[in-house]
A and B are shown apart, each in its own frame.
Chain A
């Protein structure tokens, strides 16, 4: 019981970090980022690769992995998204383009795995470094690992840091202004381009962070981001896509509902464990049919 509670909270924290990334990118550049899947996979694999080469503690490599995906995000923005926004592409076109970017990133990650196998003899087709994470303490016999603490602390830190950034710094206020009204913001002398580049930097950073934390939580292959990206989407959509806090909250809801809610429901309906993946999806669809703009449609804030 307690173990499931801890793991579901951890999972929820990891998901909500990724959901904040999707929400931020959608709110700022109107791009629903399908490349998120491969960005998570890249974060996932970067931590694993660095850990295999240098050993030591996996957590030290999470910032490096996050910076890598942040760089990927910036490159994607500069090469692809900026031009499309400049020619006034529709939301669906932007979605399609990030889907293409996703396929490219996925293919290149598979190439990296091949190179690892041929050049260094490291079999990275299925990776599992959960055991590298030591147990910190036990509460009533339930082991608590570092990941349980680190991911929750990371999620809370991100909430606070983003809040401070968006409300206290000039750049953050400029970002909120350009999210609200890009034309007016550029008239007031805000360089929209820099703000958007920064948004993609933060978006990539959060995606990579989410993937990097995930590697210590579950095993996976290169399709890890692809497999669970639906939950990221569900979380950000439930949150409403307009407010970053909504994204964080939505991710937490989806994570908890997938693990903890199904666990509680299994007392009454034993078969539901098998349909675990469908539970958050059903929740998403019901939420959207009741509030077509997500939960943030209730309280509109950025």
Chain B
């Protein structure tokens, strides 16, 4: 149990820390609203995927689903466990949906990022996250508001090894994220991001559009965090707005990147491992 807990904390935490690293470490955007993108990913998995699964198997998928989610989710999970191809397709679909929605919310966050600086930007992003969380917590039809929502289990078809499979899948995604981040780090885009971080004027002189680069960083980072949120929701099989606290999904990833070294991908992953291990002991 304990090892499982460590693995899940590490996997999700590492993706979040890497996504923060792109925004904070490479581009210098004080992203204190990480939880916003995570919530969007959770929404993709909890709010949308579960509805689609319900519609596929002929269950009610409107407001009725939110009202009686535990019963429907159990029934859908049972149906999915006999239908591995559909479960896998749904899984892929959730991840793609989370990526797209995350990128959209990242683009929305980029609008103030062009006008505001440092502390002002950090607090604006923080309040974006709070607004979304507060609205989701109170708005019942989508994800059940204060009651939360149970969602179908997509890993049930692996009989008996459900959580192990889920964890291996999450760690696999984490590894892919690390490779992507490392690739961005060495690409022209990554160098442009660092130029913006170090000196905006110098980057502008060399013909880089600061707005575009900041928007790219926010979109990539938010998409990654959104995937992390979707994976976490799929693993826990529930979605509840206050589960995604500011402490766990914004401040702890900040602690990871501080421990690992801002701007250093491998260091960040190592920092996450150390921190989650320390947390677990």
The reply to whether chain A is a binding partner of chain B is: yes
Chain A residues at the B interface, C-beta cutoff of 8 Å: 26, 32, 91-92, 95-97, 99-100, 102-103, 223, 226, 230, 233-234, 237, 241, 274-275, 277-278, 281-282, 284-285, 288-289, 292-294
**Residue among A97, A233, A275 making CB contact with B138, cutoff 8 Å:** A275
Tell me how far the C-beta of A11 lies from the nearest C-beta in chain B, rounded to whole angstroms. 17
Across-interface contacts of B247 in A (CB, < 8 A): 223, 226
Q: By the criterion CB–CB under 8 Å, are B134 and A234 in contact? A: no
Across-interface contacts of B262 in A (CB, < 8 A): 96
Complex alpha-carbon distance, A290 and B124, angstroms: 13
Most chain A C-beta atoms within 10 Å of own C-beta, residue among B24, B115, B123, B134: B123
Q: By the criterion CB–CB under 8 Å, are A278 and B123 in contact? A: no
Across-interface contacts of A277 in B (CB, < 8 A): 130, 134
- Per-residue interface assignment for chain B, residues 105 to 135, with 1 indicating a CB less than 8 Å from any chain A CB and 0 otherwise: 0000000100111111011101110110011
Complex alpha-carbon distance, A294 and B123, angstroms: 12
Which of these binds chain A: B50-58, B85-93, B250-258? B250-258
Q: By the criterion CB–CB under 8 Å, are B28 and A289 in contact? A: no
- 29 pairs from A and B in contact (CB 8 Å cutoff): A32-B119, A32-B123, A91-B118, A91-B119, A92-B28, A92-B30, A95-B119, A95-B122, A96-B254, A99-B254, A99-B258, A100-B255, A226-B246, A226-B247, A230-B130, A233-B127, A241-B119, A274-B138, A275-B134, A275-B135, A275-B138, A277-B130, A278-B131, A281-B130, A284-B123, A284-B127, A289-B112, A289-B115, A294-B120
Known: A92-B30, A281-B127. 10 other contacts (CB 8 A): A32-B123, A96-B254, A99-B258, A226-B246, A241-B119, A274-B138, A277-B130, A277-B134, A278-B134, A285-B124
**Residue among A100, A233, A275, A285 making CB contact with B128, cutoff 8 Å:** A285
Q: By the criterion CB–CB under 8 Å, are B258 and A233 in contact? A: no
Interface residues on B, range: 20 to 34
Tell me how far the C-beta of B127 lies from the nearest C-beta in chain A, rounded to whole angstroms. 4
Closest 3 CB pairs between A and B? A274-B138, A281-B127, A32-B119
Q: Is the interface of B mostly helix, strand, loop or mixed?
A: helix
Tell me how far the C-beta of B119 lies from the nearest C-beta in chain A, rounded to whole angstroms. 4
Tell me how far the C-beta of A46 lies from the nearest C-beta in chain B, rounded to whole angstroms. 22
Tell me how far the C-beta of B38 lies from the nearest C-beta in chain A, rounded to whole angstroms. 17
Complex alpha-carbon distance, A277 and B115, angstroms: 25
- Closest-by-CB residue of B relative to A282 is B131
- Closest-by-CB residue of B relative to A234 is B127
